[in-house]
């Protein structure tokens, strides 16, 4: 019979941060200003990311697809 893994099999959560994680010199929100509040972050698969060199190219391609899809839906 297969053993089931439940919550009791998990190790207890760490209560302290590991020593190798040193954020003492970090700057909070360092890159936050680069993105608008309405921005949505997505992760592209490597083969898709290789086709585009900028975010603008990705957005332009997606807008073209949306435009075609809307046009196709209207004519159907």
Q: Which tens digit of pLDDT belongs to each residue from 4-47?
A: 666 667 777 777 878 888 888 999 888 888 887 888 889 999 99
> In degrees, to the nearest 5, what angle opens at C-alpha 49 toward C-alphas 45 and 50?
120
Q: Flag whether pLDDT at 49 surpasses 90.
A: yes
**What is the distance between the alpha carbons of residues 44 and 47, in angstroms, rounded to a whole number?**
8
Distance CA 53, CA 22 (A): 32
Which pLDDT score, from 0 to 100, does residue 54 have?
93
Asked if 65 and 48 touch (Cβ cutoff 8 Å), the reply is: no
Residue with tokens 């190798």: 20
**pLDDT score, position 63:** 97
Q: What is the pTM of this model?
A: 0.52
Enumerate the domain spans of the chain: 36-76
Confidence tier at 1 by pLDDT (50, 70, 90): low
């Amino acid at each position: 019979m297969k053993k089931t893994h439940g919550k009791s099999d998990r190790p207890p959560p760490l209560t302290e941060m590991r020593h190798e994680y040193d954020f003492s010199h970090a700057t909070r929100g360092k890159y936050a200003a680069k993105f608008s509040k309405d921005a949505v972050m997505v992760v592209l698969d490597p083969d898709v990311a290789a086709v585009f060199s900028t975010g603008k190219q990705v957005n332009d391609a997606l807008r073209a697809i949306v435009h075609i899809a809307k046009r196709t839906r209207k004519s159907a």
